[in-house]
Amino acid sequence: MFDSIIITAANEAQAKGYRAQTSGDSRVVVIADPGGRRVGSLGATVNALVSIEGLSGKVLVCHSGGDARRTPGYAAMGKAFVPMRDGRSMFAHIVETMEALPMPEAGGLLVCSGDVLLDFDYASADLSKAGVTGVAYPDGPFQAQRHGVYVVEGEGAGHGVLQVKDFLQKPKVTEGSFLIDTGIMFIDWPTAVKMKSLPIAGDIYEEFPKMLLEGFAPFNVNVMEKCGFFHIGSSRELLNELGDGNVYVDSVGCELDLAGGNVVTNVPAGRFDRLSLGRNECFTCLPVGEDGWYDLKYMLDDNFKSDGLWERHGLAEKMREIDYSRLLAMRNHGNSLKEND
């Protein structure tokens, strides 16, 4: 059981939303990046260390400062709060799985990502070494090209805790076996205290490994036999992983006519009698201000990241004006799918 759970957010507007969605857990503290701008996962970790009083016990830091641009249906809520099939949020599942890791009695800081669920033999993990211990698993070049990769002495030496020799980011490899970073990083308290003097900037999976390899603290990796990833990185993945591959509907209070390939989220009761969407058309409503709604229609493969749609819809500004009390009240009202074939 964690003594404290820290969620990092990009700014105070996002932090306000996260606080509204975690108000039932007194252990949760939401800390926004300073200055209203993203400072990177290393910067957010350092900012959290500087912000909390007393460094002791077992603490989880869950990094959730992304915009969720490629999943606009949940951009207002944040990807960490996407509801899983059992109705609980991804964040609830992340906390549950991270609590299954056997942390040392002395405690420490456990860092993870807020948009990934991992499946491995948690009980066999070893986080007892001094300094920093990452968690990795062996896989092929396809995953290596998309993640961080640990390099250790004596490749193929087996599983367990090994000393890190190098750390690569998305290497361009085509064959072989590699130790894929899971995003989990355990930091003991002496190292965490030392981190408080670092600048509030940088990525914990890029700049920090370089510091560790240069002698900032001992650097180890616990190699697991295998690991499964659950990640919602786009609307299409949302459709396939949590929907039925044809439609995904969550918290909708009107009749629907759907042609297929549709993601429909957060449509309040009374706003429409019937909503008709063509093939691969998606829809969500954003509660902006005290009584406004912004209707966002988009295509399944729009990514809002490189196509200019985020800016065209002015979503950066709208996300700062989301009324979370109305959003959560609408979701808690029990709106349900009423789909007509």
Instruction: Dump pLDDT digits (tens) for 285-329.
Output: 999 998 999 999 999 999 899 999 999 999 999 999 999 999 999
In angstroms, the CA 257 to CA 234 distance is 23
Q: Which two tokens stand for residue 105?
A: 């009695």
Average the pLDDT over 127-139 and give the result: 96
Phi, psi of 48 (to 5 degrees): -65, -40
Q: Are 218 and 111 in contact (CB under 8 A)?
A: no
Architecture of domain 4-231: Alpha-Beta Complex (3.90)
In angstroms, the CA 134 to CA 204 distance is 11
DSSP secondary structure letters along 266-335: EE-TTS-SEEEE-TTEEEEEEEETTTEEEEEEEETT--SSSSSHHHHTTHHHHHTTB-HHHHHHHHHTT-
Is the pTM above the cut of 0.75?
A: yes
SS3 31: strand
Q: Residue 23's CB: how many other CB atoms inside 10 A?
A: 10
pLDDT band of residue 157 (cuts 50, 70, 90) is low
pLDDT band of residue 156 (cuts 50, 70, 90) is low
In angstroms, the CA 197 to CA 199 distance is 7
Say yes or no to pLDDT of 336 above 80.
no
For the chain, domain boundaries: 4-231, 235-340
Say yes or no to pLDDT of 114 above 60.
yes
Instruction: Dump pLDDT digits (tens) for 277-295.
Output: 999 999 999 999 989 999 9
Long-range contacts of 123-128 (CB under 8 A, 24+ apart): 124/224, 125/101, 125/222, 125/224, 126/102, 126/160, 126/161, 126/222, 127/101, 127/102, 127/103, 127/186, 127/222, 128/104, 128/161
Average the pLDDT over 240-265 and give the result: 96
